[in-house]
Structure formats: C-alpha cells, structure tokens
Chain A
Amino acid sequence: MEDEKPTVYPYIPNSVPAVKKQMLKEVGAESVDNLFEDIPEKLRLKEKMNLPKPFVSECALRRHVEGILSKNKTCREYLNFLGAGCWQHYVPSVCDEINQRGEFLTAYAGEPYDDHGRFQALFEYASMMGELLDMDVVNVPTYDWFQAAATSIRMASRITGRREVLVSRTVSADKLSKIRDYCKPQIEAKLIDYDPETGQLDLDSLGAKVSSKTAAVYFENPSYLGFIEVNGDEISKVAHDHGAICIVGVDPISLGVLSPPIEYGADIVCGDLQPLGMHMQFGGGHAGFIATRDEEKYVMEYPSRLFGIAPTMVEGEYGFGDVAYERTSFALREEGKEFVGTAAALWGITAGVYLALMGPQGMLEIGKGIMQRSHYAMKEVSKIKGVRCPAFKSPHFKEFVVNFDGTGKAVREINKALLSHKIFGGKDLTKEFPELGNSALYCVTEVHTKADIDKLTEALKEVVG
C-alpha cells in the first residue's frame, strides 16, 4: 500500500492527498477531473505525456543537470577572445549579490507601494545611464540591443512620418536581420557603404542615399568591427540637413573614454547593457537601452515603460510611477506604440549597481585599460608573419579585425587549432563580410592580462607558422 501512495511534491503544497480531498469537497467536485468538464472530451489528452522520467529529489536533479552542463568548456578554463555582440567583462561580486536577492529576483509587476524598491532601483538605473549618455530619458530595458535598435528606428519613423532608414553596412548581419524583420511592414532599410581602408562610414555613399524619405541614419560606435567612427558630427549633420533623425548604437562600457553620442549629434542612442555587470550566459545576459532628450515628441514614441519620480502626500518623500502610460500597448492594445512585455528589468537593476560601483573614475579607468590592452594585442598580433592587424586603419576600442590572408590558413582551421591551446579565437567573419577575406573579429577586455595576450600571440604564431 505504501508504494501506491501518490507522491507529494515539494513545490506543490496541496498535493497532499488529504488536503486535496478536503478542497474538492469544498468546491463540490467528486474528482479533479470534474474541474475540467468544460474542456471538450475530444480535446482531453487521454494518455500520460511521453516525457523523460523525472529526477524527483533535488539531489538527483542537480546531478542530472550538472552532468549535462559539465560537457561545456567555459571562458574560465579557456582564454576567450570572442566578442561580436556578447563580451567577457568582469562582473563585480556585488552585481551578482543584488540580482540574486529573492526580493528582486521574484518580484514582477506590483504597485509602487508594494514594490517601491523595484521602482527606485530602475529609476536610478535610468538616471545613471542618463549621466553616462548625457541624456535625460532612458527606458526600462527592452530585450537586447537588436530590439533597441529596431525600436529606435521605428520611433524615428513615427516621429518623421518617413519610411526609409539608412544603416551602416558594418552592423552585424544578425542585427540587420532583426531590424529588417521588425521594420518590414513600415520601413525599408538601405545600407551605407564603408571605406575599405578605414572602415569608416562612407560619407559619399550616405550623401547619395539620404533623401527627404529618410527617417533615420543608424550607425554604431564603436562599430561592430571594433573601430571608432570618427565622423559622428558629419554623419549627424547630413541626417539633420535632410530632416532625418540620427540614431547611434553604443557600447556603454566605452563611454568613460569616448564621447557620449549626443555630443556629435545623436538624437536617439541605443545599445546593450550586457557589458555592465551581466555574465555572458551563452548570449542570455542581454538587455537593450534606448535614450533620448526629454522632448514630448520623443517620449511619446517609446513603447517601453518609463519610470518617473513623483511626490507623495508626505513632503520630501519620493514616489515613483509610469510616465505617460497611455502611450503603451498595456493601456491601448494595438493603438499603443509597438508592444511592451516582460523583457530584462533585472539586468537593468544590475547595470545600475555596476555604474554605482564604478563611478566616474572607474568608467574612465576601465575604458582606458581596455584600450591599452586591445592596442597591445593589435601590436603584438600584427607582428605575426602573414597577419594583418588591425585590418582597418582607424582608432579602435576593444575589438579589431585580424586578417589571415597572408598565412594561407582559413580562420576556421586557425580557431580549431587554437582550441588545442585552450584558446577561443575571434569570430570568423568570412561569411558575414566576405569582402574582408579570411578575417576574424577579436575582442580584448579588462579581464585579459599581458600574459594572456602574449599566450594568444605565441599560439597564433605556432598555428599559422
């Protein structure tokens, strides 16, 4: 008899048979089955689902999942030089400490009275990003940079009433794919060429394509290929001269040393928060930000929630709430701006913790330190025979293109060989940018020491030699 007793599930308090029986009696049902009587018999699943046998104890479950995960090789065991949209930066311990707090981790959509702390933390996140970007409005994070860029473009289209966007051809193929899918019904994306020598956005190509149909010009700084776009002023001027909006995608960790895009004419700035305190998580740590000036015509086009500060009945007490909620799809369904849903708020809180820890001096030092390391890496790698590095003659931040044409080896082969040195080589660009030849995108950050970079250089020498 003992064995036939139904299992009591730790996560399901009322799975205790006696309790269930009592509750069924209370609701006047003979069996649980009665509760589903409105689901037509024909649609009722007759058999038990064919799912793997569960690991009902926590101990066994952990062993099972950890066993599978042990097949992964991590960037702690291997030396990693991959970036390309997901970057290995150091995550301060306090960032993890805060985002694993059960109160934040398991909260959701409570009122400002239940969840004052959630509202304040997200308001402070937006406020610190505002300082970094020198802009007055920052959203509660959206999914990632892809979404932030696509939404920024649609915002620009609504503001200008125009249906074309000019996008720098150095954005990643994946991001362009997202932009095209998301903008498809309303907006056509046209590409602006780049200078093959420097990578810089080609002002002639821009001039030839910009018109009174252009809603926005979108480019990135640093670019996806790692170099710094130095002609921000000229690009934004062309956009503005044609009544278009200038959108700049930016890596926020660069902003201790690089000018905030508003300084060179950006109207909308977007990007990813992942560098600011989020682990890479196989691409699971992304969150997108969008920032603008505090002008009604911009604010009213955000689809995201915007948390604002407001007075309460008690003098000096801060309250918070939704700014201009009536623009959202929560309020207006299809009449709202695009759509809003659960995205990545906890990473926003975490990015706030990161910026509070770093402060102005930390952001300056980390930006400078990253540049010193990446420049050292470029210098050392460029000494290898047959290797051209950086492929573009421009200033760079943390990523750079390495061309292996002169080595006679394919990036794919090189990266396979680097694995035996416990190194993850840069992203293979041969399919994404065939015109760059046999090239890879390398990333160096503050986590790398001189010895790490020297190890890469030595390994590359051996591999291509």
Chain B
Amino acid sequence: MKDITEERYVDGKPKLRRFHQARWDEPIIFELSNEGERGILVPEVEEELKGSVGDVLSRIPGKMLRKKRPELPELSQPRVLRHYVRLSQETLGTDLNIDVGQGTCTMKYSPKVNEQIARMPQVAEIHPLQDEETVQGILEIMYKFEQILKEISGMDRFSLQPGGGSAAIYANASIIRAYHESRGEADQRDEIITTIFSHPSNAACARTAGFKVITLYPNEDGYPDIQALSAAVSERTAGLMITNPEDTGIFNPKIEEFVDIVHEAGGLCAYDQANANGILGITRARDAGFDLCQFNLHKTFSAPHGCGGPAAGAIGVADELGKFLPVPVIEFDGSKYRLNYDRPESIGKIRSFYGVVPVVLKAYAWVMSLGAEGLKEVAETAVLNNNYVLKKLLEVPGVSAPYAKGKRRIEQVRYSWEKLAVDTGVHSEEIGLRAADFGVHYWTSHHPWIVPEPCTIEPTESYSKSELDEYVQIIRNVSDEAYKNPELVKTAPHNSTIHRIDHAPLDDPSQWAVTWRAYRKKVKRDKAGE
C-alpha cells in the first residue's frame, strides 16, 4: 500500500500538502437555464383578496408597466443550490486556509457561535423603526459595545454607523470639516496630511471630503519623516489621518510628537486603527493625543470578511467632537436605551439607520468571550506570531524586510522580494500565484509599491506555530523553485480552478464585460445578446 507521506517527501521537497483547488467547470448561471424551471414559488394571493382589488397591473400607466420580462435564468432549486455550493468550493475562505498572506486585512478566526447568534430572529427579524421599547436588547448591545470601544481606545464617544473602514475614515474626514466650519476656518484649513504607508482610503476619503492631500514619505529607517511633517503643517492644516503601526508593521515611536505638531498648527488628528490587532490593551489612541479614531469590526474584532463585506466601521472621538457624530446616537438613562436625533451640529447620516448591526453584534460577542486579558493575549500572540514568521521568513533566500533594522514589528511585515527578482526574474506577484498551488493566499501590497517587489504577511493570533511553519515552508519552497526552476513559478498556478487569465480585455473598453449581457454583445457577438 502506498504511503501518502512518501509522496509528500518526493524529490526532496519539504512536507507540503498535495493541494488542488476545486475545479467544477461550472458554467455561467445563464448557460444552465431551462425554460419553465422554477427555483422558488412566491406566496399565493387569496382569491377573495384578488377579487376585491381587481386587475392591479392595469393601474400602472402603460409606459411604466414592464413589457419585456427580465431575461433571468430559469432554474430548479437544487440546481441553483449546487451551482452556488460549487462556486463556494472554488473560494478559499479563512475557514479553509492559513490566511496570513493578506497582510493589513487581519484574516483571523470568525467564531461560529457569533455567526449563529447573529442569525437568530432576535437580530435578523427586527425592523430598525420599531418602537424603542421593542428593541431594547439590540440597543443595549450596541451601547455596551460603544463603552467597550471607549475603554480600548480611550476616546469619549463612539458611533457604530459607518458601513466599513473606509466609510468610517470618510466620516472622520467629515467631522474634521465640521469642526473647522464651526470655528469659521473651513475655507482656510483645506489640507489633510497622511503617510504613504497609511491605507489608501485615508488619502482618498480626505480628497472626497474636499481636502487637498499631502502625503509624507518614510525616511531611510521607514518611519514617517517628522521633519517633513513640520515642513508640511501650516495655517492650512485641517488634520492628520494616519495609520500606526503603518502597513510596514513598524510602530512610529514619535507618534505623540506628530500629534503635537499638528495640534500646534491647529489641526485635528485621526487615527486609522485598521492595524489595531497588535496593540489591543497595549497602547491607546487617546493616550497618544488623537482626537478621532476608527476601528474595522470585520478585521480586528473578528467579524467575517464576507468576500468583501458586510463590513462595519466604528468611529471614536474626543468629547469636544462628540456633537458632530452621525445621528442618531444611542443613549442610556439608567433604565432605557434610546436613539437621540436631536443633534443640531451633527454631520448627519453616514449610512442608513444605525450601522451594520449583525457585524457589531459579532464584535461584541467576540470581546465578551475574551475580556481585557484575552484582548491583550490577542495582541501579544499576534505580535509574537508576526515576529516569529519574520525570523523564519528572513531565512528564506531572496526576501528581506526593509527599514528599521533590528526593530520588532507589530501586526504585520512588509517584505521585499527585490533580491529574488534580480536573481531569478521571478516577481512577487508570481510568487503569490505559485503559493496558491499550495492552498494559501499571498498578497503583494497596496499601490504604489514604495517597497520593491512587496508582500505583506499578517499572522494574527489565529494560527498555530505549526501552521505558521507550514506557511513559511510553502514560501520557502516557492523561493527554492524560483532559483532552481523559475519557469515552474512563472507559469503558475498549476493546481488552481483556472489557468492564467488574459487581463488585457479588462482594460479595453471595446472588450470589457461587467455583465453576461455585455459579454454576449461584445465578445460572443451572440444574436440573443444584441
């Protein structure tokens, strides 16, 4: 009988699993359509009711009545189910892989119990405009979670309304605008300062909110340049929007001085805490002098990422900015929770109703399973894991960790494969495609690539030492392959659902197709699509 462990060791390869991504060759759903099939029947209308109202469609004026049925696919229920379950199998969630390769995304474990609770009718089947007396439970959870975030950040007031991290950054930019307006300085203070290793949304949201953006670049040690900051601030400075630790994983030790410089110039300081996982219970936004901050509840606070949402952002502010928070705010009078809309200086609405409530609930449950000591354990273990992977990865040929030599990193590390690219012609992106052959994600980095041939690894607290070792082994193996047989890497993936994609049509207006109907018209030139 063949021993599987022998196969794992063949050709002197390290102990890697024989992964192959699911490949169902599942057609596009329209290709599965069979005329007349039904996936679900809608509730029948009682004859008496129908008789009472007559032909309702005749009440729709001719031009407003739909003439041509939408060309949706027609499928039975089991076929729809199988289609989507197959597509799900062709998707590599955190539940399946050692998801440390999407650095800055905090791909941690999302506890199943929290998911099950969030799907109970007491959450799923409540309407946001119900009488407050009937939603005291969910308001209590939201209020209590705000108190938790206040303690974690040191801030005085919170809003859970933003629909994601970027929406929260935008809300903070909007609050900064409102603050300067309230002081009659909005026209003058039209510049936001950020750093190149802060998430792109800090720059993008500031611009969207009407500010000019000044971006600071790192000094040779990788720290944001404090002299550049001093030169950048002026009577035009509205604020600073910054990540710390930055996406390099390096904690800016002069952060308090940064905040002081901006404050002295009359600006506000907003802390993007997307990378907060490694500092929970270690250091707090308010203690460094920040006026505003934001957390991504789908990252640090364990709610699942859902293929890109539902996400949730929480914004925290110092007392004097509380009046600008979005409406409504949740208040507690000692016996009842209520929603207060009477906030004349509020920036207004950032999102419908009160926020992405099921995500807030999952975040609350996660904190309540850990407590203060548990949160600190999260941070400490995430940072230990990160520094462990750093140590191990730097033993791999071709990779380096630029900047801050000899310093510890916090939540993630931005690595560089510059040497490997020079030595072998294999680029960072190609390493990722080969890593996919072993069942793991690998992400390069946000643009622009200040670090050449970058990749960003963020182990979080959710993976065991042996899993981290396995990830490093995969990367080591890909590096070995790059040196011995670069073609193997450059032609990857080999074990994926699909083969190399030709991306050129996606940037060509005459060929791109965002829907099947566009594809039929433009590419298939299929008559039915005309």
Which chain B positions have C-beta within 8 A of A72? 122-123, 126, 134-138
- B213 pairs with A343, CB closer than 8 A: no
B475 to chain A, nearest CB (A): 15
Inter-chain contact B371/A74, CB cutoff 8 Å: no
Give Cα A137–Cα B360 distance, bound, in whole angstroms. Answer: 32
Identity of the chain A residue whose Cβ is nearest the Cβ of B68 in the assembled complex: A134
- The answer to whether B29 and A259 touch across the interface, beta carbons within 8 angstroms, is no
A105-B124 in contact given A65-B141, A257-B60, A345-B307 (Cβ < 8 Å): no
B interface, how many residues as a size bin?
Answer: 35 or more
CB of B383 closer than 8 Å to a CB of A: yes
Residues of chain B with a CB closer than 8 A to A130's CB: 514-518
Return B401 CB to nearest CB of chain A, in Å. Answer: 13
| Complex alpha-carbon distance, A58 and B380, angstroms | 22
Looking at the complex, which of B3-11, B81-89, B418-426 is the stretch in contact with chain A?
Answer: B81-89
**Assembly CA distance A44 to B130 (angstroms):** 43
User: Is B344 interfacial (CB 8 A cutoff)?
Assistant: no
Interface residues of A in 5-64 (CB under 8 A from B): 7, 9, 11-15, 19-20, 22-24, 26-29, 32, 34-40, 42-45, 48-56, 58, 61-62, 64
Interface residues of A in 296-349 (CB under 8 A from B): 296, 299, 305-314, 317-326, 329-334, 336, 338-347, 349
- Whether A108 contacts B105 by the Cβ 8 Å rule is yes
Q: Are B518 and A424 in contact (CB under 8 A)?
A: no
Q: Mark B118-139, 1 if CB is under 8 A from A, else 0.
A: 0111111111111101111110
What distance in Å separates the Cβ of B198 from its nearest Cβ neighbour in chain A? 10
Checking B45, B135, B282, B371 against A36 with a beta-carbon cut-off of 8 angstroms, the contacting residue is B282
Q: Mark B84-104, 1 if CB is under 8 A from A, else 0.
A: 111111111111100100100
Assess the B126–A282 pair: CB atoms within 8 A: yes
Q: For A103, what are the chain B residues with a Cβ–Cβ distance below 8 Å?
A: 88-89, 91-93, 95-96
Give the residues from 106 to 130 in chain A that come closer than 8 angstroms, CB to CB, to chain B. Answer: 106-118, 120-124, 126-130
Inter-chain contact B441/A64, CB cutoff 8 Å = no
Tell yes or no: B61 within 8 A of A by CB: yes
Looking at the complex, which one of B49, B133, B302, B327 makes contact with A450 (CB distance below 8 Å)? Answer: B49
In the bound complex, residues from chain A placing their C-beta under 8 Å from that of B500 are 312-313
Whether a CB of chain A sits under 8 angstroms from the CB of B486 is no
Q: When chains A and B are docked, how far (Å) is the Cα of A94 from the Cα of B107?
A: 27
| Stretch in B204-212, B226-234, B262-270 touching the partner | B204-212
The answer on a CB contact under 8 Å between A45 and B287 is: yes
Docked complex Cα distance between A306 and B515 (Å): 10
Whether B509 is near chain A, meaning CB under 8 Å from some CB there, is: yes
- Complex contact A37–B163 (CB within 8 A): no
Contact B349 A368 (CB under 8 A): no
| Contact between B92 and A280, CB atoms less than 8 A apart | no
**Assuming the A-B contacts A48-B373, A71-B137, A258-B65, are A356 and B443 also in contact, with contact meaning beta carbons closer than 8 angstroms in the complex?**
no
Decide yes or no whether B309 CB sits under 8 A from chain A.
yes
Per-position contact with B for A230-267: 1 when CB-CB < 8 Å, else 0? Answer: 10110000000000000000000001111110011000
Q: Report the minimal beta-carbon distance from A99 to chain B, rounded to whole angstroms.
A: 8
Residues of chain A in range 279-294 having any CB-CB distance to chain B below 8 Å: 279-287, 294
* Alpha-carbon separation in the docked complex, A78 to B523 (Å): 51
B131 adjacent to A424 (CB under 8 Å)? yes
- Segment of A170-178, A203-211, A457-465 in the binding face: A170-178
A86 lies within 8 A of B129 (CB)? yes
- Measured in the bound complex, the distance between the Cα atoms of B446 and A25 in whole Å is 33
CB-CB contacts below 8 Å: B498-530 with A: 498-503, 505-507, 509, 512-519, 521-523
Q: Does A195 contact B (CB under 8 A)?
A: no
Indicate whether B463 reaches chain A with its CB closer than 8 angstroms.
Answer: yes
Q: Is the CB of B111 within 8 A of A52?
A: no
Residues 334-387 of A at the B interface (beta carbon under 8 Å): 334, 336, 338-347, 349, 352-353, 355-366, 368-369, 371-373, 375-376, 379
CB <8 Å contact, B203 and A359: no
- Give min CB distance, A351 to chain B, whole Å: 12
Question: What CA separation (Å) do A24 and B385 show in the bound complex?
Answer: 9
Partner of B105, one of A109, A128, A264: A109
B471 close to chain A: CB less than 8 A: no
In the complex, whether B239 has a CB less than 8 A from a CB of chain A is no
Of B113, B296, B359, B509, the residue contacting A284 (CB under 8 A) is B359
Contacting pair B506 A310 (CB below 8 A): yes
A140 to B166, CA, bound (A): 15
B1 within 8 A of A: no
B371 & A379 in contact (Cβ 8 Å cutoff): no
The answer to whether A48 and B353 have CB atoms under 8 Å apart is no
B39 adjacent to A113 (CB under 8 Å): no
Instruction: Kindly identify which residue among A14, A48, A143, A363 contacts B163, using a CB–CB cutoff of 8 Å.
Output: A143
Q: Determine the chain B residues whose CB is within 8 A of the CB of A65 once the complex forms.
A: 117, 141, 361, 364-365, 368
Contact across chains for B63 and A264 when beta carbons are under 8 A apart: yes
* Cβ B349 vs Cβ A74 within 8 A: no
Instruction: State in angstroms the CA–CA spacing of A371 and B465 once bound together.
Output: 59
Q: Does B66 contact A (CB under 8 A)?
A: yes
| Whole-angstrom CA separation of A312 from B37 in the bound complex | 32
Please, which residue of chain B has its CB at the minimum distance from the CB of A300?
B509
- Which single residue of chain B is at the shortest CB-CB distance from A85? B352
A76/B125 in contact, CB under 8 A: yes
Which residue of chain A lies nearest to B140 when distances are taken between CB atoms in the complex? A68
Chain B minimum-CB-distance residue to A185: B210
Q: CA A65 – CA B120 in complex, angstroms?
A: 11
* Contact assessment for A20 and B206 in the assembled complex, using a CB-CB cutoff below 8 Å: no
CB-defined A-B contacts under 8 Å, sample of 12: A14-B463, A69-B123, A106-B93, A106-B110, A116-B497, A127-B30, A144-B351, A230-B64, A259-B66, A282-B353, A311-B505, A375-B56
Q: A72-B123, A130-B516, A132-B72 are known; give 16 further A-B pairs, CB within 8 A.
A: A11-B109, A36-B283, A49-B376, A61-B369, A80-B130, A94-B80, A105-B306, A111-B432, A124-B30, A126-B515, A134-B70, A230-B64, A256-B70, A311-B502, A323-B506, A344-B310
